[in-house]
Chains A and B, each alone.
Chain A
Amino acid sequence: RKEVEQDPGPFNVPEGATVAFNCTYSNSASQSFFWYRQDCRKEPKLLMSVYSSGNEDGRFTAQLNRASQYISLLIRDSKLSDSATYLCVVNTPGNTPLVFGKGTRLSVIA
């Protein structure tokens, strides 16, 4: 089983739609979780950290389900500018770098 798995998409949704991505991770001891956004031909940028209690930032909500070992990202009222690849990122125990998922591509269409 891969350490971090994401549905690659693409998810094609109309403007104003609500869309959700899930990401599963294999190591039950993982403690830190993040969502990054990567635009085409650009560097990844931190979108939000994911906390145990779940957290919200405007139209974006991130949740963690430790029992099932997945994190989710919900985007409400999708905008054209939300079109990007969303990377799920998880730490592994010990002093090792974060593990990046391969990303889920979102296209928001007018």
Chain B
Amino acid sequence: DGGITQSPKYLFRKEGQNVTLSCEQNLNHDAMYWYRQDPGQGLRLIYYSQIVNDFQKGDIAEGYSVSREKKESFPLTVTSAQKNPTAFYLCASSSVNVGNQPQHFGDGTRLSIL
């Protein structure tokens, strides 16, 4: 079945540690996105990518980094510079025309600080 796979489902980070969240899609979508959602809050865009080897900052990119070496994969690294990383992280993808096609989401990764 086509879809978006995020892993791990739960992740714990120690102070000062970088962690990487995986996102893989087999929908042949060009565009991929990372969002952060805090309890009771809306989605906030971290980074997005419209094509391989290119990505743009979203509204809250500080403390995060991404790469897009393959069309299918868009990993997110939460660096030690992100002082409040505890949140629900959602990856999404969409076909061409970034702003006109609906996005499809993975089932998320919950990140907590130890």
Contact (A95, B107) CB under 8 Å given A43-B90, A100-B42, A103-B42: no
What is the count of residue pairs linking A and B with beta-carbon distances less than 8 angstroms? 52
* Chain B residues packing against A (C-beta within 8 Å): 31, 33, 41-43, 45, 48, 50, 58, 88, 90, 97-108
Residues on A with beta carbons closer than 8 Å to the beta carbon of B48: 97
Range class of the A interface residue count: 20 to 34
* Chain B residue at minimal CB-CB distance from A41: B88
Please name 10 pairs of A and B residues whose Cβ atoms are closer than 8 Å in the assembled complex, sorted by A.
Answer: A41-B88, A43-B90, A44-B43, A44-B90, A46-B102, A46-B103, A92-B99, A96-B98, A97-B33, A97-B45
Main SS of the interface on chain B? loop
A99–chain B nearest beta-carbon distance, Å: 9
CA distance A42 to B43 in the complex (A): 12
Are B99 and A100 in contact, with the CB atoms below 8 A?
no
Residues on A with beta carbons closer than 8 Å to the beta carbon of B102: 34, 46, 49, 89, 98
